[in-house]
Amino acid sequence: MSKIIITINRESGSGGREVAYRMGEMLGLKVYDKAILECLSEKYNLNYDEIERLKAKKTNLWDDFCQFYRQFSAVGEAYQPEDKKVTSRELYYAEAEIMRNLAQQESCIIVGRSAFHVFKDNPDAIKVFIIAKRDIRIKNVALRNGIDEKAAAKQIDETDKAREAFTKDFAGVSRYDARNYDITINVGSFSPEAIAAFLAENIRRKMDMDK
C-alpha cells in the first residue's frame, strides 16, 4: 500500500490541531507539528521563537537562494550563529525537506507548515483545511489561553495574518483558496472528536481501497 500523507491546515482557534491528534489516534498515524520545528532547531541551533521570527521576515529570493547553498553545501555542516545568518527562506526549504523525508518513511499527519503546498503534486496526499466562525474561534482561544475575548480576538487576527503572509511569500498562493485542498470543513457546532471521526472514516476507506 502506498504511504498516505494527511496535511491539516487550520484557522487559529478552529480546533484543527486537536482534530489532527484525534485522527492520529483513530488511524494509528503519527502527527507532526512542532516536532518539525524541533528538527530545525537542532539543525540550525535556533529556538522556536527565533525560527518564527526569521520566517516572518521578508527576504529576497535570489540572495537567500545563493546564501543557502554557500552556507550549507557541505554535508553535515552545522549552523554557527556567530558567523552565519539563517534566512526565512532557508527555513522554509528545510521544513519542506524534513516533511518530505518523514512522508517517505511512513504514513503520517502533518499540521500546518504549508504542507498542503509541499505535497500539492503528491497523489498520496490528502489535504484538509479546517475553519470555524470567528466567535467560536475567539471563545476557543480565550478558554485555551486563559485570556479575555478581546485579547483572544487580537491574537487570532495576528496569527491568521502571519500564516497568510508566510503562505503567500513562500507558496505563492492564499491558504484560504479552497482549491488548494481536497477537503475544507467548517466545524460549526461539531466537536473536534466528531470532525476527526468523520475524516478518519473516509480516509480509512481510501486507505483500504489503495491496498
Structural domain boundaries, residue 197:
5-205
CATH code where residue 111 lies = 3.40.50.300
- The pLDDT, as a whole number, for residue 79 is 42
What is the rounded average pLDDT for all residues in the chain? 82
Beta-bridge partner residues of 9: 129
**Torsion-angle region of 185 (φ positive above 0: left; ψ -120 to 50: alpha; else: beta):** beta
- The pLDDT, as a whole number, for residue 81 is 43
210: in domain: no
84: in domain: yes
- The pLDDT, as a whole number, for residue 22 is 95
Q: Is the pLDDT of residue 66 over 50?
A: no
Count of structural domains, the chain: 1
**Side-chain half-sphere of 47: how many Cα atoms within 13 Å?**
1
Q: What percent of the chain has pLDDT over 90?
A: 46
Q: Is the pLDDT of residue 176 over 50?
A: yes
